[in-house]
Amino acid sequence: MRLAIGSVQFGMEYGVGGKGKVPFQEVAAIVSYARQAGIDMIDTAPRYGDSETILGQIKDGFVFPRIVTKTPHFPGEWIGPEQIGFMETTFRQSLRNLRRNPVYAVLVHLAEDLLKPGSERIYERMQAWKEEGLTEKIGFSVYTGEEIDRVLDRFPGFEVVQLPINVLDQRLVASGHLVELKDAGIEIQARSVFLQGLLLMDPARLPDGLSRFRPALEELRRRWEKLGLTPVAGAMAFIRSLPEIDDAIVGVHSLQQLREVHRAFADKPAVHVPFEEYSLNRETDLLDPRRW
């Protein structure tokens, strides 16, 4: 398993902590540290504000060993030539903004786009990019196991799946999807490792709309404190317990945060935590940030 950097905070305000967009100089320091620490992947997307442009302005950004970008979202009910033209233009602009050709992988940002009539056009165009040498791998990003099943049933040639997983959201562990993907030789990139920063927040300071998380977070804090683990270390210990994951994508707002995350990722605490006891797998509406 490798640690990777998520860049959404570089281009826009993101997460529940309300910390705002990361200043340019701090982004440069984060990316520089990441390269020195052997972290070799950055995840970005056209929808992440100007994060791609910012990475392209930083030498350590555009020469990063592995860069993952994504397609735009198509809000319509079907995928036609006009949508594919927009997708092509957007991807070429991403390459220019990132000053990178090829990129490591291109992912369909929302798997629902691959379930619409005409979505074979998306897959065919991405295959063409790969054949042209513009990307090494193609894949898609999901929210649920059902999306994984439906997409791979239609397009079994995808090589990467990016999915949400954390100590509270263990649905794809319980469903067996992690093992199935690994057995199929598909690269697994884990996102939402900190649940948009919620796992690192003081439970007493949760926004009113997320107060239902409070009992679970308070119990997690108590257990982690008994084991001598910080919230960052506890969250990373869960991810490290999943051998199927290839990359754990984390978003940070400062160099100091990245250093803490990197230390926690590198450490292997000699403690046993019954992580399955803390899952909220049945609270599907609560675990999906789109519904917050």
* Cis upstream peptide for 243 (omega within 30°): no
Contact residues for 139 (Cβ-Cβ < 8 A; gap 6+) = 105, 106, 107, 108, 158, 159, 160, 161, 162, 186, 187
Q: Return the pLDDT at 196.
A: 87
DSSP letter at 280 equals -
pLDDT in tens, 73-102: 899 999 999 999 999 999 999 999 999 999
Q: Output the average pLDDT for the chain.
A: 93
Which runs of consecutive H residues, i.e. helices, occur in the chain? Answer: 8-11, 24-36, 51-57, 59-62, 81-98, 120-132, 145-154, 171-174, 177-183, 214-226, 231-240, 255-266, 284-287
Spatial distance between the Cα atoms of 65 and 5, rounded to a whole number of angstroms = 12
pLDDT in tens, 39-64: 999 999 999 999 999 999 999 999 99
In the chain, the percentage of residues whose pLDDT exceeds 70 is: 97
Spatial distance between the Cα atoms of 207 and 201, rounded to a whole number of angstroms = 10
Q: Return the pLDDT at 249.
A: 98
Question: Look-up: residue for tokens 């504000």?
Answer: 49
**Average pLDDT of 25-52?**
97
Q: Return the pLDDT at 279.
A: 86
Label residue 287 by pLDDT band (50, 70, 90). confident
DSSP letter at 86 equals H
- Topology given in CATH for the domain delimited by 2-291: TIM Barrel (3.20.20)
pTM score, two decimals?
0.94
Question: How is 32-80 classified by DSSP, letter by letter?
Answer: HHHHHTT--EEE--TTSTTHHHHHHHSHHHHT-SEEEEEPPP--SSS--
Partners of 249 in beta bridges:
4
Q: Return the pLDDT at 280.
A: 85
Q: Does residue 272 register a pLDDT over 80?
A: no
